[in-house]
Structure 1
Amino acid sequence: MTAERAPGAGGGGVVDGADRGDGADRGDGARRGLDARLVVDRGAFRLDAELRARPGEVVAVLGPNGSGKSTALRALAGLESLADGRIGLDAQDVTTMPTERRPVGMVFQDYLLFGHLSALDNVAFGPRCQGAGRAEARERAAELLERVGLAEYAAARPRALSGGQAQRVALARALAVRPRLLLLDEPLAALDVHTRASVRSELRRRLADLDCATVLVTHDPLDAMVLADRITVLEAGRVVQEGTPGEVAQHPRTGYVARLVGLNLYRGSARGTRVALAGGAESAPAEVSLSERWDGEVFVAFPPRAVALYRQRPDGTPRNLWRLRIEGVERFGDQVRVHLEGALPLLADITPEALAELRPVGGAEVWAAVKATEVRCYPA
């Protein structure tokens, strides 16, 4: 049997020192977090996805461009009408609730701070819109600025803030309305590469102190792996995979996810210790032994670093060996990534020295070998 190659402002609160997910374990029926089915029709595109997030939990939504990530976020915020489905927050149906009344806070990709207002008044804006008096709103804003470490910047205008500081003000503004659902739209996209790592770690600490459900939309797998408790992957408007960051990284189920986590991924039919793949190639999965056999549809995956390349057929009898054609070469960190086509299209990461020994030219053929112990197998 052959197989395909699998070629990616509203209300809640802040509790100091609260454990993530604490609200989900209290037995309090009103603290269920987010439970939504989102159906949105936009011409030829249709989003039909279920999203859930417990109180105190961060769920990252990943997907390629056009997968429906932004549409899902806008629907949760009330900025996109549903054709079907519902949005439940802490056992309350907010599907038809006006946008301004939803207990939802949102941090936009570019933060959208009011340039003519101080940091303090930016944060106080939401409570003022909810009817709080000026003194009460500013007091709440001051408390939140102190909580995010920006008390000394209360009088600063947005143009005087760094990217990381602006993000913290935007987060404080979203939390000032005491949301039960926090939405983050590409929260690190506006930052330069030099500040992203530190701001990512800081945001992780801030999110760990929240007891509202949080949904994070991102195209960056590192953001999702670091910030999220669970990941939901959208492709073409549908959920194709979900789980903890570890589960998603170790067991990708689509080519998009495999590329995100840096694995070669294939689907095939297993019989014993052999898996039949597209084009007649076969692979011996590492997890299979004579006493534990695989049968049926499975995925097999292995990292590009596990692939060894040879100009001549290697000695011995490697259990995974294919004659393939070099289609391209690119720099990849301190390694070289080689794109190979043939019976088993794959990526191989080798050293520049190993590449020099191969002396590849366009269309050159090489032998690719992978140890059985490097191959991961799991049910499809």
Structure 2
Amino acid sequence: MTDIDAPEADVKRAGDEGLDARLVVDRGPFRLDVSLTAAPGDVVALLGPNGAGKTTALRALAGLVPLTDGHLRLDGASLERTAPESRPVGVVFQDYLLFPHLSALDNVAFGPRCQGASRAEARERAAAWLDRMGLADHAHAKPRRLSGGQAQRVALARALATRPRLLLLDEPLAALDARTRLEVRAQLRRHLAEFEAVAVLVTHDPLDAMVLADRLVVVEHGRVVQEGAPSDIARHPRTDYIAQLVGLNLYRGQADGHTVRLDAGPSITTTEDLSGPVFVAFPPAAVTLFRDRPTGASARNLWRCEVEGLETHGDQIRAVLTGELPLAADLTTVAAAELDLHPGAAVWATVKATQTHAYPA
């Protein structure tokens, strides 16, 4: 892996220990209590709904919010009492916060100057970073002359020019339009792959998290509810929020062989042979709808439902169903029209056991 400080190679120090933190922050009735560990080279994404505590955790890492309790160690050094400006931390804020009166070059040079570098040295380092970001031709442009993607790269260069041991990114792609976001996400992934210290990304966008991070930490109501590799979390969601993010119907129940009796609702037949508390998940595309009770259907799972609502979901229609088993079903526009689906319509929903996935709770 290439050192991201290549413009002025800073050899990785022996004995680096990465991040070890327990962030406890009390803010009125809200309490954040999140533990984070990461080795140098790791990219960790904090994922969660609005108000979950993601940004509070990021601000606590940066020193902008004091800890009520817990600890914060970076490369073995305690940072709880270290002032924000003295921490080896780089931050890319959601709106980038570039200095409007400074050129891109001087925005990037600002950090090294604050660390004591001479003006010439700081500008030399900044120029190298802008070249690395593909922005050498925009070195003298003010932020108002930059596109959203260019401004994001200047903000990232400014954070990295200080040679941080911890890089914090707060919704770094949120300000971009869809087309620019796709391009900048790919560029950011490349830069993060080269970063040999710890990076922590805050996002509510599951695609950003899945593409950019090596590990996801899902936070709800100030607590970690699940963490692991993106592929594992996508396949084994453990809360409704995560299931909705990755596009799965999710239920919890008690397994007895191939039958799972749901905590609230009917039974589901699965291919897995399990015992005890389990989750059962299946995608909306696995659901087949009928207006009349099907006869001779091979599906082992059949429930009587009612259409609560319909919405466009990509190039398909998503039907939100209530009844014996609340669930979401995806079908084509043609199929929805042929079934004459509308709110209040009675339907039968089937799912084959082979399309379900059960796993221990």
1:312 aligns with 2:297: no
1:321 is matched with 302
Structure 2 counterparts to residues 1-380 of structure 1, below 5 A: 14-16=4-6, 28=14, 30-286=15-271, 288=272, 293-316=273-296, 318-380=299-361
Of the structure 1 ranges 194-203 and 228-237, higher mean CA displacement relative to structure 2 is found in 194-203
Which letter does structure 1 place at the counterpart of 2:86?
R
**With structure 2 as the length reference, what TM-score do the two structures score?**
0.95
CA contact 2:44–2:201 (8 Å) conserved in 1? yes
* Aligned equivalents of 1:100, 1:16: Cα separation in 2: 24
1:10 is matched with none
Which letter does structure 2 place at the counterpart of 1:39?
V
- Give the C-alpha shift of residue 314 in structure 1: 1.2
Which letter does structure 2 place at the counterpart of 1:195?
T
The answer for unaligned runs of 5 or more in structure 1 is 1-12
* Aligned equivalents of 1:177, 1:225: Cα separation in 2: 27
CA contact 2:310–2:342 (8 Å) conserved in 1? no
* Aligned equivalents of 1:158, 1:361: Cα separation in 2: 49
User: 1:333-362: per-residue Cα shift (whole Å, max 9, x none)?
Assistant: 111100100121000001112112221343
CA contact 1:183–1:216 (8 Å) conserved in 2? yes
* Aligned equivalents of 1:370, 1:213: Cα separation in 2: 43
1:360/1:284 CA distance change after superposition, 3 Å: same
* Aligned equivalents of 1:33, 1:256: Cα separation in 2: 29
- Give the C-alpha shift of residue 16 in structure 1: 4.6
* Aligned equivalents of 2:209, 2:342: Cα separation in 1: 38
The answer for unaligned runs of 5 or more in structure 2 is none
- Give the C-alpha shift of residue 312 in structure 1: 1.2
Identity within the alignment, %: 65
- Give the C-alpha shift of residue 247 in structure 1: 0.6
1:156/1:361 CA distance change after superposition, 3 Å: closer
- Give the C-alpha shift of residue 188 in structure 1: 0.4
- Give the C-alpha shift of residue 33 in structure 1: 1.0
1:211/1:361 CA distance change after superposition, 3 Å: closer
CA contact 1:278–1:344 (8 Å) conserved in 2? no
1:65/1:280 CA distance change after superposition, 3 Å: closer
Q: How many residues align?
A: 355
- Give the C-alpha shift of residue 176 in structure 1: 1.1
Matched residue SS, 1:284: strand
Which letter does structure 2 place at the counterpart of 1:369?
T
* Aligned equivalents of 2:354, 2:186: Cα separation in 1: 34
CA contact 2:92–2:172 (8 Å) conserved in 1? yes
Which structure has more relative contact order (CA 8 Å, sep 6+)? It is 1
* Aligned equivalents of 1:197, 1:261: Cα separation in 2: 19
- Give the C-alpha shift of residue 280 in structure 1: 4.1
User: 1:222-277: per-residue Cα shift (whole Å, max 9, x none)?
Assistant: 10011111100000000000011101101000000000000000000000110001
CA contact 1:279–1:343 (8 Å) conserved in 2? no
- Give the C-alpha shift of residue 148 in structure 1: 1.2
CA contact 1:16–1:209 (8 Å) conserved in 2? no
Runs of 4+ aligned residues of structure 1 deviating over 4 Å after TM superposition are none
Which letter does structure 2 place at the counterpart of 1:170?
A
* Aligned equivalents of 2:264, 2:242: Cα separation in 1: 23
1:9 is matched with none
1:143/1:356 CA distance change after superposition, 3 Å: same
- Give the C-alpha shift of residue 278 in structure 1: 3.6
Which letter does structure 2 place at the counterpart of 1:72?
A
Matched residue SS, 1:152: helix
- Give the C-alpha shift of residue 279 in structure 1: 4.2
Pairwise CA RMSD: 1.6
* Aligned equivalents of 1:100, 1:361: Cα separation in 2: 58
* Aligned equivalents of 1:279, 1:265: Cα separation in 2: 12
* Aligned equivalents of 2:5, 2:58: Cα separation in 1: 24
